[in-house]
Amino acid sequence: MTKLIHPVAGTIALLTILTFWLSTALSELFASEATVMAVKTAIPWGFLLLVPALAAAGGSGLALSGGRRAGVVGAKLRRMPVIAANGILVLVPSALFLAAKAQAAEFDTTFYAVQALELIAGATNIALLGLNMRDGFKLSGRLNRQSGTHGMQLVGRDMIADGTMALRFAKPAGFHHQAGQSVSLELFNCSETDAKGRSRTLTLASAPHETELMVATRMRDTAFKRALSGIPIGGMVRMTGPNGDLTLHDDPTRPAVFLAGGIGITPFLAMARHAAEAKLPHVITLFYSNRRPEDAPFLEDLRRLEKTNPNFRLVPTMTAATCAAQRWDGETGVIDAPMLRRHLPDVLAPIYYLAGPPAMVGAMQKVLNGLGARKQTIRYEDFSGY
pLDDT per residue over 81-116, tens digit each?
999 898 899 999 999 999 999 899 899 999 999 999
**pLDDT category of residue 63 using cuts at 50, 70 and 90:** confident
Instruction: Among 43-57, 143-157, 304-318, name the one with the lowest average pLDDT.
Output: 143-157
Instruction: Among 84-93, 153-162, 269-278, name the one with the lowest average pLDDT.
Output: 84-93
Among the listed residues 309, 247, 253, 250, the one whose alpha carbon sits nearest the alpha carbon of residue 279: 309
> How far apart, in whole angstroms, are the C-alpha atoms of residue 134 and residue 130?
6
Residue 156 inside a domain? The answer is: yes
Domain stops at, among 96, 115, 140: 140
Residue 250 inside a domain? The answer is: no
Dmax of the chain from CA atoms?
Answer: 88
**Alpha helices for 88-158 (secondary structure H):** 92-103, 109-140
> How far apart, in whole angstroms, are the C-alpha atoms of residue 357 and residue 99?
54
Looking at the fold, whether 173 and 197 belong to one and the same domain comes out as yes
- pLDDT over threshold 60, residue 118: yes
- pLDDT over threshold 90, residue 149: no
Find the CATH number of the domain harbouring 162. Answer: 2.40.30.10
The β-bridge relationship of strands 351-356 and 256-261 is parallel
DSSP 290-358: ESSGGG-TTHHHHHHHHHH-TTEEEEEEESSGGG-SS---SEES---HHHHHHH-S-TTSSEEEEEE-H
The whole domain housing 15 covers 2-140
Residue 145 inside a domain? The answer is: no
- The mean pLDDT of 178-206, rounded to a whole number, is 86
Find the CATH number of the domain harbouring 12. Answer: 1.20.120
- pLDDT over threshold 50, residue 148: no
Residue 166 inside a domain? The answer is: yes
Looking at the fold, whether 377 and 345 belong to one and the same domain comes out as yes
> How far apart, in whole angstroms, are the C-alpha atoms of residue 201 and residue 191?
20
Angle at 369 between CA 347 and CA 317, to 5 degrees: 60
Task: Return the amino acid letter for 45.
Answer: W
- pLDDT over threshold 50, residue 146: no
The β-bridge relationship of strands 312-318 and 331-332 is parallel
Global pTM reads: 0.68
Residue 84 inside a domain? The answer is: yes
Residue 249 inside a domain? The answer is: no
> By the 8 A CB rule, do 241 and 144 touch?
yes
> How far apart, in whole angstroms, are the C-alpha atoms of residue 341 and residue 280?
25
Looking at the fold, whether 8 and 80 belong to one and the same domain comes out as yes
- pLDDT over threshold 60, residue 144: no
Looking at the fold, whether 109 and 178 belong to one and the same domain comes out as no
Looking at the fold, whether 163 and 81 belong to one and the same domain comes out as no
pLDDT per residue over 15-29, tens digit each?
999 999 999 999 988
**pLDDT category of residue 167 using cuts at 50, 70 and 90:** very high
Looking at the fold, whether 7 and 127 belong to one and the same domain comes out as yes
> By the 8 A CB rule, do 286 and 236 touch?
no
Domain stops at, among 94, 116, 140: 140
Looking at the fold, whether 272 and 347 belong to one and the same domain comes out as yes
Domain stops at, among 109, 140, 171: 140
Mean of the per-residue pLDDT values of the chain: 89
Looking at the fold, whether 266 and 223 belong to one and the same domain comes out as no
Distances (CA, A) of 149 to 178, 233, 237, 243, 245: 18, 21, 11, 14, 21
Domain count for the chain: 3
